[in-house]
Chains A and B, each alone.
Chain A
């Protein structure tokens, strides 16, 4: 008398429905825009054709246009500099702090946690605060640099085209350090003490232990943190909006800000889409490498 049972109440159907609820929402609001984005990047989309469902296809014109602009070269270079410097600085400062807070002293964990306050603040507020700190005439950073004798003249961080990118990088490093530090701390804590003790008995000094034990054992963690750092850095938008708006004269413009600018300030939406498609490919590429590498590790 086996009662007919619904797969939802008792079987695999339950898991499937739960997954599909999320997946459905993401397909509508993430996957579909992703596809639509690609389509629009081959269309002429501006304010006039915005509402139309039947827009003219223009082939690769948008890509052609955005790749051959004068500004393109600067913006691509800026993006690379922004990512490389941000990630390198976040990683080295984060790693140094993680190593420091790995030592045993009262309150170490709690104090370490305080750093995340910088990460959890809205990007726009962080940008606002930093734009005051970086202000040319009365910014406290200039005061510090002058007092320390690093520079004689005030640096116009935000309005000097050769400096503005660095102002965003400074703020971005500030935002990214805590996350790097916490993730690396987890990796450091996972290295058993007895390995260090064994190395110490073998006569390895502090530096040697770091080079021969810590670094090799942290390789996977470092890889993950670097990938995540690249991904988060490529997501950074708020700091640009708050600090420099990509200017002056594209001095601090990067791809992810430019894409928005093209769509929402120049209303060349098709071109905005083209830039967006190119960058999404980069981000997904980095993410795919990251996910695959962590997967392999679990398998091993």
Chain B
């Protein structure tokens, strides 16, 4: 009986591994292709392990000027994350604490702004930004637009975290002699720290992969992030697949590492925010 149980567990595990492997095949394919050179890339039938592995990372990094692109991506992601965390944390807290019809209206408005697609918002943002001259600071323009895009998501995620901090703790701090902001900073924020960090990380990763705004608001190559750079090398007739895949691999490896390390926290943060 116990033996059967054991066996079926291993059978399930095997199927699970097969499912994960199938699903993650494109990721594997990206890495393998990055290691293939010349004709092997377009070989038919395709080879599933490079016959002659060729690490092109350094060469691609240099040739495709990835340093600039990655730097811009990081600048944009850091800028967005800073703005969003600074502006949004308090709002997530207030929406978690105060129950009133006004707060319901605010929450509803924020949820509605969360769903606005970037590709639809870019037209008015582009025109307005160009009219007030913000396009002269293209990365700032992208940071502001992207911050507005992801701020609602961050507020919803942090709100779910703050709801879990018991109200009495804050009240105890008030009775102990603290002001509202003091209690917020010394009690609520430290206790919601994990949720805030996960939300901030998600915002950071999302902004690291931002494309629409950067593509539309940034003209100069020197300010473009990695997504736009990748797109420009990947025209419909590209033949440098090793270059593209190496570029992609360099770009997403840190993201994937981040994710694997913090998988559990990300999953729980994501589910609590999306469904409450």
Stretch at the interface among A66-74, A84-92, A202-210, A254-262: A254-262
* In the complex, chain A residues whose CB is within 8 Å of the CB of B209: 121-125, 238
- Which of A10, A128, A158 touches B230 (beta carbons < 8 Å)? A128
Q: With A19-B94, A34-B116, A183-B271 as known contacts, state yes or no: A237 contacts B211, CB within 8 Å.
A: yes
* In the complex, chain B residues whose CB is within 8 Å of the CB of A19: 90-91, 94-95, 103, 106
Write out, one digit per residue, whether chain B residues 87-129 have a CB within 8 A of any chain A CB (1) or not (0): 1101101110110000100101111111111111111111110
The interface size bin for chain A is: 35 or more
A25 within 8 A of B: yes
Quick one: which of B247-261 are within 8 Å of A by CB? 248, 251-252, 255-256, 259-260
Q: How far is the CA of A10 from the CA of B183 in the complex (A)?
A: 10
- Which of A21, A276, A287 touches B91 (beta carbons < 8 Å)? A21
B144 within 8 A of A: yes
Please state if B212 and A260 are interface contacts (CB–CB under 8 Å). yes
Stretch at the interface among A104-112, A192-200, A211-219: A104-112
Beyond the given pairs A22-B90, A29-B144, A291-B108, 20 more chain A to chain B contacts, judged by CB atoms under 8 angstroms and listed by A's residue number, are A21-B91, A23-B91, A37-B121, A45-B127, A110-B264, A111-B16, A111-B20, A113-B263, A114-B24, A117-B256, A120-B266, A121-B256, A125-B209, A132-B33, A133-B29, A238-B212, A256-B120, A279-B120, A287-B112, A291-B111
Chosen A-B contacts, 11 in total, with CB atoms closer than 8 Å, are A40-B124, A45-B127, A51-B131, A105-B10, A105-B13, A115-B24, A120-B256, A138-B41, A159-B236, A186-B271, A257-B119
Binding site for B on A (CB under 8 A): 8-12, 14-19, 21-23, 25-26, 28-34, 36-37, 40, 45, 50-51, 53, 97, 100-101, 103-111, 113-118, 120-126, 128-133, 137-138, 140, 143, 147, 158-159, 174, 177, 182-183, 186, 221, 224, 228, 231, 234-235, 237-238, 241-242, 245, 256-257, 259-260, 263-264, 269, 272-273, 276, 279-280, 283-284, 286-288, 291, 294
Binding site for A on B (CB under 8 A): 9-10, 12-13, 15-17, 19-20, 23-24, 26-27, 29-30, 33, 41-46, 83, 87-88, 90-91, 93-95, 97-98, 103, 106, 108-128, 130-131, 144-145, 147-149, 151-152, 155, 174, 179-181, 184, 205, 208-212, 215-216, 226-227, 230-231, 234, 236, 241, 244-245, 248, 251-252, 255-256, 259-260, 263-264, 266-267, 270-271, 274-275
